[in-house]
Structure 1
Amino acid sequence: MGMKLPPIAAIRAFEAAARYQSFTRAAEELGMTQAAVSYQIKLLEDRIGVALFVREPRQVTLTAAGRKLSPKVTEALDLLGSAFVEVARKPELHLVISTLPTVASTWLVPRLPSFQAANPEIRIKLHTSNDSIDFAREDVDVMIRGSDSVLPEHEVFSLFPMEYAPVCTADYRERHAIAHPADLLKVRRFGAQSWWARWLTGAGVENGSDDRRMDLVIGVQTIDVGLTLQGQGVAMVMPIFFADELNSGRLIRPFQHIGRDERSYSLVYPKSRRQSRKIRLFRDWVVAEAEATRSAFAAIPV
């Protein structure tokens, strides 16, 4: 059977203090005094015979034992919380997804009805943002972000490698006589400056990485494509998100060269919540959808 479980109040105090590395902030979250949090953690340490925190004048830090225990305790409490939510009378579970605006509008939103049809008990709340999410402080279950937003305590599933290329209308290419990659330096361009610099250099354009002149930096590929479809310039985007426009000929890729980044767009959530049923259902679905999208896109003749 092992040792008897310590009091839940002591476990909760430790989990919150470990998360914040602060007895004060843990006390605020739990509605306790700082002295009560300190007392509960001392009880826990006495019970297991191991120090969990190093107490310094202005802060507390986890000991090696505390660091080992912390993620397991968080996971156990999350699992306990999920269990009560799933058997509570309320039949609906809310899944809060935070995603990049481009991924939401071009790819995720059109596909979500199929997830909802298969899982009618789960209600989706979708937030869009380019900023990274702090799961400890925000009411978000999963996020889709660039893999550079990932921390060691996150579980990560790559969805789309960052592969980008310029797109424009066929008419725009003709009007501006775009025949060589260097010709792009003379036209209006939209999109991430870092992607442009890397793509131009990779396409053999001298001084491509020194080019700093960008007409408009918005940070949302769908808006950049909207301007491009109006014949206002050339956008640097991930072509996989605009397969319909490329298939129909409304957009073209004037050059075959693809820019590649070591990052990817990934599904991310805390390792402590990996047992959550709603997260597992969404993870399995979204990973399969992304794989199907990549396969379909690879089959399109360029």
Structure 2
Amino acid sequence: MRADTPLKAIACFDAVMRTGSVTVAAQQLFVTPGAVGQQIRKLEAWLGTPLFVRTVRKLQPTAQALSYWQQVRPALQQLDSASLAVQGKGDLQVRLSLPPAFASSWFARRMPQLTRRYPQLQLHLSASTDRVDFSQGTVDLAVRHFDGQAKDVQARLLLADEMRVYCSAEYRERQQLRTLADLPGATVLYTTSHAHWSQWLASVGLSFDGLARGLQFDQSEMAIDAARRSQGLVLTSPWLVEDDVEQGRLVQVFDAVLATGKGYYLVQARDIALSEAAQRFEQWLVEAARCAASGLNG
């Protein structure tokens, strides 16, 4: 490495590229936005080329910036990994991203098993449905709900998904829900994340005609909670209501099950090797999913 290589400036450049914001980069680096801007200008002078097109609202990276970042990013990741290894932290950390509803239900239910098996594991959880950019080095593994078709990442099926109808026992008795013929008059709880009511109704030979009013929710957790509180029928994944069914807060109302063609997939980068800790966690997660699927289908 050249003696005049501006490592601090390169670190600031990396932070801006990862976050897309000088302000956020400054917060992560615990410096002021002005200090980050100064380091970016220093790096541009050292490289002899502009790295960003400056507008009123944001910085737009140039083609040279994108090319340079692609080349220096692996070296920065390797430097970070080497430092963690020397500090004794590299083999313990796993960074995981999960959908919020899945994180607070299926995964939370099994976390005690994980911590008992790997008490030294340092797990960093992020609840999000956003697309993961593994090149930023902020996530090792992610679970996503989709059809498994992905060209830019490796995707391994954990749990095939399906839709079932649930409500509280109190609501079922109040509405006298015994057969599908009793469905008209019940309140339907709609969710944008699991918008499968029309498909489920069609699968049992029914439609929305004759159904009572419905309530709309943009998050599965809210619709499920409304069902717990006897507000209506929720159509959702059995993986999100395991505890509720086991503890009697929710009951499955009808036998009809709708296969969605989607599932919960474990995704990871194709070109970034997992750490030993991440590999152990991956094995545990696959095993836990296999046991869960066996229990549901058994």
Fold equivalence (TM over 0.5): yes
1:223 maps to 2:220:
no
Q: Paired residue for 1:186? A: 185
For normalisation by structure 2, the TM-score amounts to 0.67
Indicate the RMSD between aligned Cα atoms, in angstroms: 4.8
Identity of aligned residues (%): 21
Aligned equivalent of 1:195: 196
Structure 2 residue runs without a partner (length 5+) = none
* Aligned counterparts of 1:144 and 1:202: Cα–Cα separation in 2: 28
Q: What is the correspondence of 1:201-216 to structure 2 with a 5 Å cutoff? A: 201-207=202-208, 213-215=213-215
Letter in 1 for 2:228: G
Question: C-alpha distance in 2, partners of 1:161/1:145?
Answer: 12
List runs of 5+ in structure 1 lacking aligned partners.
none
* Shift, 1:41, TM fit: 4.0
The answer to whether the Cα contact below 8 Å between 1:198 and 1:259 also exists between their aligned partners in 2 is no
Aligned to 1:12: 11
CA distance in 2, matches of 1:289, 1:5: 51
Q: How does 1:48-67 map to 2 (within 5 A)?
A: 53=51, 55-58=52-55, 59-63=59-63, 66-67=65-66
Secondary structure in 1 aligned to 2:196?
Answer: helix
Using the TM superposition, give the Cα deviation of residue 294 of structure 1 relative to its aligned residue in structure 2, in angstroms. Answer: 2.1
Distance (whole Å) between structure 2 residues aligned to residue 259 and residue 138 of structure 1: 35
Does the Cα contact within 8 Å between 2:190 and 2:216 map onto a contact in 1?
yes
Cα distance in 2 for partners of 1:16, 1:125 equals 19
TM-score under structure 1 length normalisation: 0.66
SS in 2 for 1:56: strand
1:1-302 paired onto structure 2 within 5 Å: 7=5, 9=7, 11-21=10-20, 30=29, 31=31, 32-44=35-47, 53=51, 55-58=52-55, 59-63=59-63, 66-67=65-66, 70-71=69-70, 73-88=72-87, 93=92, 95=94, 97=96, 99-124=98-123, 129=127, 132=130, 143-147=142-146, 156-168=155-167, 172=172, 176-180=176-180, 183-192=182-191, 194-207=195-208, 213-215=213-215, 217=217, 219-220=220-221, 223-224=225-226, 226-227=228-229, 233-242=232-241, 251-260=251-260, 262-267=261-266, 274-298=273-297, 300=298
The answer as to whether partners of 1:97 and 1:141 remain within 8 angstroms in 2 is yes
TM superposition shift of 1:187: 0.8
Contact 2:99 2:144 in 1 (8 A): yes
